[in-house]
Amino acid sequence: RPREPVFIAKGSKKAVFSVPNEYLADKYKPLGVALTNRFGEDADERIDVKKISIPPFGEILELSRDENFSLFIPKHRRIAGRLIDIFLGMRNVDDLVSVAVYARDRVNPYLFNYALSVAILHRPDTQDVDLPSFIESFPDKYVDAKVFAQAREQATVVPEGSRAPIEIPKDYTASDLEEEHRLAYFREDLGINLHHWHWHLVYPFEAAREVVAKNRRGELFYYMHQQIIARYNFERLCNKLKRATRFNDFKQAIQEAYFPKLDSLVASRSWPARVGNQRLKDLNREVDQIKQDVDDLKRWSDRIYAAIHQGSATDERGRKIELTENEGIDILGNMIESSILSPNRTFYGDMHNMGHVFISYVHDPDHRHLESFGVMGDSATAMRDPIFYRWHSYIDDIFQEYKATLPRYTENQLNFPGVTVSKVEVQVQGGSANTLNTFWQQSDVDMSRGMDFQPRGSVFVRFTHLQHQPFTYKITVKNSSNGNRKGTCRIFIAPKLDERGNPWLYRDQKNMFVELDKFTVNLKQGQNNITRASSQSSVTIPFERTFRNLDLNRPQGGEELAQFNFCGCGWTQHMLIPKGTPEGMPCQLFVMISNYEDDKVNQSTEGVCNDAGSYCGIKDKLYPDRRSMGYPFDRMPRNGVDTLQQFLTSNMRVQDVTIKFTNRTVRPKSRN
Ligand code: CUO
């Protein structure tokens, strides 16, 4: 399947590789140079690939080229780790290119793309190398299978420039008979799924230690996924559905079904569906080298709970590891996910990852039907399935169990003496204060790189996603202390009422708060007026970066190319604000200014990808906030606090806001 070259040499429009004959896959060898010539006709640059001694690939080649690849399957992640090591071990970029070219037509394409992406992300000498957007390379993981036949037809019949975008209908995976379908716009959002794929690319759980052991990665696993659940539950309340129920009884039938309607172009198969009311079954799949009992999940979780309640874990050599107030959550994150940093994988197992695997094989646990895994088996697709949120609600609940054992924040640990937030307002252009507006928008994404047919050229799909009107926070802060102060402004939002329409208890509402922004403020004495735009959010990246709708014919700034890999991680800007309701969803906007002296991390965060730190961290830096992730909502409240109002100290303020959804669709400007 001749796809376009994986590397786009910087500054060139199109490059072709001149490959030593030995490197060609056997089926192409007879063609030799003719192949380069054929694909090189319209190339601007020819890259000679050096012949080097290729390290043995061994087990890596056991995953055939037309199989699906899952990081959650232990065998797959082991061979991915080996391939990453090979790519990382190359002495220089020329050697990396050689081994990558050699690997490309031999190794499973998903595995190849993943391992090379991780390597490029982590090698010091490839920081300015660009990778195509994952949705461009593998659009089949994101869009309705029907699109590809239409795209093929268009590409063959209609000349480039006259091709109309192919529209993906908003409701293609189910009908309103299924109430879970109300959330499809969130679960199947391209930007959300791309964020999740990128997050796991940046934070792999199995690879060389220096690649895995990023600052607070276990804690970030907890926090980023906790926020996904908070956001999803918020959306559920907007859609008159109760919060997701934990999947905590592994023997119970899973009521919700999911039919993804995705086709794998690589495996030439449909992604398996998950019908309703199935139960997890013991796995015995020789092909994946998996033999695991459902009871193992229970055993692992019992041991994890025991560690939480004892306040310590036990490592492989029987030594005690304290789950300290500062580092306990990071250890637990690695233990529960699990990553190679788990204190004891033999004992605490591989809880969260294997949960994905059990669910993704529920339709064929012993491989008798020769079926591959469902969408839960792949971080690029897992968030589409309703069970993802039930599984992660359960995982999050384990973390919350631990958080409940930590000392409560005292008023002193929350307050910032002398600093008072006296007013908070949200403004939208032409709208009323403290009302946020949401609606549908259509956008186009080019998928042509992932489509292997001639003639080439852009093929756009048009999809419909949620959008909000940009807005501005206006925050008034009084500094009555005896000098200038520096603070961290933390902004969250939560629904004001629970499923029954009652005000929340703090202990429940704290888990509903969705982070919207976090930034440093300088406070002079007296009154300070802080203005901040929604687009500056420390949670999100701009739409253009999510999709990186790069037009390769347009000269790119080197910087734009260089930053993509890491910078693709970040919640998608168009999903910053939950959908709300047509009548207006009552919400509470929470603003806190904490003392920067207790927040600061001594480092420079100048440079690339420093704008979506809340969920993704900052490339090659420490996590940019010293507080526990989720602060101040990450713990049970101090004695006497039952409600949010009682929780507030003078450096915090709550403002009622309304999210109003209008059922209109903003269409893109005509592409032709
Ligand atoms: Cu991100 Cu379960 O970790 O999908």
DSSP class per residue in 360-377: HTTT-TT-TT-----GGG
Cα(449)–Cα(136) distance, rounded to whole angstroms? Answer: 5
pLDDT exceeds 80 at position 371: yes
Ligand 1 center to 537 CA (angstroms)? 23
Q: What is the pLDDT of residues 221-243, one digit of tens each?
A: 999 999 999 999 999 999 999 99
Q: What is the pLDDT of residues 241-289, one digit of tens each?
A: 999 999 999 999 999 999 999 988 777 788 999 999 999 999 999 999 9
Counting ligand 1 atoms within 8 A of each CB, the residue from 379, 387, 393, 399 with the most, and so the one to mutate, is: 379
Output the CA angle 348-352-354, nearest 5 degrees: 90
333 and 393 belong to one structural domain: yes
Nearest-atom number in ligand 1 for the CA of 391 is: 2
599-622 average pLDDT score: 88
Does residue 379 line the site of ligand 1, with CB under 6 A? yes
Q: Is the peptide bond before 162 cis (omega within 30 degrees of 0)?
A: no
The CATH number of residue 633's host domain is 2.60.40.1520
Looking at residue 9, its pLDDT comes to 38
Nearest-atom number in ligand 1 for the CA of 352 is: 2
Counting ligand 1 atoms within 8 A of each CB, the residue from 359, 384, 392, 616 with the most, and so the one to mutate, is: 392
- Active site (catalytic) residues: 337
Looking at residue 452, its pLDDT comes to 62
Helix (H) or strand (E) segment spanning residue 585: strand 585-595
Nearest-atom number in ligand 1 for the CA of 395 is: 2
**What band does 556 get if pLDDT is binned at 50, 70 and 90?**
very low
Ligand 1 center to 324 CA (angstroms)? 25
Cα(205)–Cα(335) distance, rounded to whole angstroms? Answer: 11
Where are the alpha helices (H) located in 278-350, listed in sequence order? 294-310, 328-337, 345-348
Position 255 in a domain: yes
Question: Per mean pLDDT, which range of 151-165, 364-378, 520-534 is the poorest?
Answer: 151-165
Looking at residue 420, its pLDDT comes to 98
**What band does 562 get if pLDDT is binned at 50, 70 and 90?**
very low
Looking at residue 658, its pLDDT comes to 98
500 and 385 belong to one structural domain: no
Distances (CA, A) of 659 to 118, 571, 587, 591: 39, 19, 7, 17
- The residue segments making up the domain with residue 526 are 411-447+459-666
**What band does 566 get if pLDDT is binned at 50, 70 and 90?**
low
228 and 209 belong to one structural domain: yes
**Contact of 155 with 456, CB cutoff 8 Å:** yes
Ligand 1 center to 379 CA (angstroms)? 6
Q: Is the peptide bond before 455 cis (omega within 30 degrees of 0)?
A: yes
Burial of 194 (0-12, 13-18, 19+ CB in 10 A): buried
Nearest-atom number in ligand 1 for the CA of 199 is: 1
The percentage of the chain sitting over the pLDDT mark of 70, rounded to a whole number, equals 91
Position 597 in a domain: yes
583 and 659 belong to one structural domain: yes
**What band does 40 get if pLDDT is binned at 50, 70 and 90?**
low
Domain end point (choices 129, 148, 166): 129
Q: What is the pLDDT of residues 611-650, one digit of tens each?
A: 899 999 998 899 999 999 999 999 999 999 999 999 999 9
Distances (CA, A) of 506 to 12, 284, 458, 671: 56, 45, 51, 49
Q: Which long-range contacts (CB under 8 A, 24 or more apart) does 174-182 make?
A: 174/259, 178/257, 179/241, 180/241, 180/256, 180/386, 182/239, 182/240, 182/241
Where are the alpha helices (H) located in 441-595, listed in sequence order? 506-509, 543-547, 558-562, 564-567
217 and 320 belong to one structural domain: yes
Looking at residue 148, its pLDDT comes to 80
Residues forming beta bridges with residue 479, ordered by sequence position: 419, 526
Does residue 356 line the site of ligand 1, with CB under 6 A? yes
Ligand 1 center to 335 CA (angstroms)? 14
Q: What is the ipTM of this complex?
A: 0.99
The CATH number of residue 125's host domain is 1.20.1370.10
Q: Which amino acid does the sequence have at 286?
A: E
Cα(356)–Cα(184) distance, rounded to whole angstroms? Answer: 20
Closest CA to 102 of 33, 21, 31: 21
192 and 90 belong to one structural domain: no
What does the mean pLDDT of the chain come to?
A: 90
Does residue 390 line the site of ligand 1, with CB under 6 A? no
Cα(258)–Cα(159) distance, rounded to whole angstroms? Answer: 37
Looking at residue 24, its pLDDT comes to 82
Ligand 1 center to 10 CA (angstroms)? 33
Counting ligand 1 atoms within 8 A of each CB, the residue from 217, 225, 334, 373 with the most, and so the one to mutate, is: 225
Domain end point (choices 95, 129, 163): 129
Q: Which amino acid does the sequence have at 42?
A: D
Closest CA to 26 of 116, 102, 99: 102
Closest CA to ligand 1's atom 4: 379
Ligand 1 center to 74 CA (angstroms)? 15
The percentage of the chain sitting over the pLDDT mark of 90, rounded to a whole number, equals 71
- Sign of dihedral through CA atoms 75, 81, 83, 86? negative
Distances (CA, A) of 513 to 230, 270, 387, 642, 655: 6, 37, 22, 16, 14
Position 5 in a domain: no
426 and 364 belong to one structural domain: no
Question: Per mean pLDDT, which range of 418-422, 441-445, 497-501 is the poorest?
Answer: 441-445
Q: What is the pLDDT of residues 150-168, one digit of tens each?
A: 887 877 788 877 888 888 8
Q: Which amino acid does the sequence have at 423?
A: K
469-477 average pLDDT score: 98
Looking at residue 160, its pLDDT comes to 78
Ligand 1 center to 382 CA (angstroms)? 7
Does residue 352 line the site of ligand 1, with CB under 6 A? yes
- 138 versus 219: the higher-pLDDT residue is 219
Ligand 1 center to 356 CA (angstroms)? 8
Nearest-atom number in ligand 1 for the CA of 356 is: 2
Looking at residue 7, its pLDDT comes to 40
389 and 422 belong to one structural domain: no
Domain end point (choices 129, 162, 197): 129
478-499 core/surface letters (b: 16 or more CB in 10 A; e: else): bbeeeeebebbbbbbbbbbebe
Cα(586)–Cα(628) distance, rounded to whole angstroms? Answer: 28
Nearest-atom number in ligand 1 for the CA of 224 is: 1
Chain-centre distance for alpha carbon 503 = 31
Position 560 in a domain: yes
Ligand 1 center to 424 CA (angstroms)? 35
368 and 428 belong to one structural domain: no
Position 171 in a domain: no
- Residue 593: phi and psi, rounded to 5, are -110, 110
Position 135 in a domain: no
**What band does 2 get if pLDDT is binned at 50, 70 and 90?**
very low
292 and 417 belong to one structural domain: no
Ligand 1 center to 346 CA (angstroms)? 21
399 and 443 belong to one structural domain: no
**What band does 11 get if pLDDT is binned at 50, 70 and 90?**
very low
**Contact of 353 with 360, CB cutoff 8 Å:** no
512 and 585 belong to one structural domain: yes
Ligand 1 center to 196 CA (angstroms)? 8
**What band does 378 get if pLDDT is binned at 50, 70 and 90?**
very high
Position 587 in a domain: yes
The CATH number of residue 314's host domain is 1.10.1280.10
Domain count, the chain: 3
Position 415 in a domain: yes
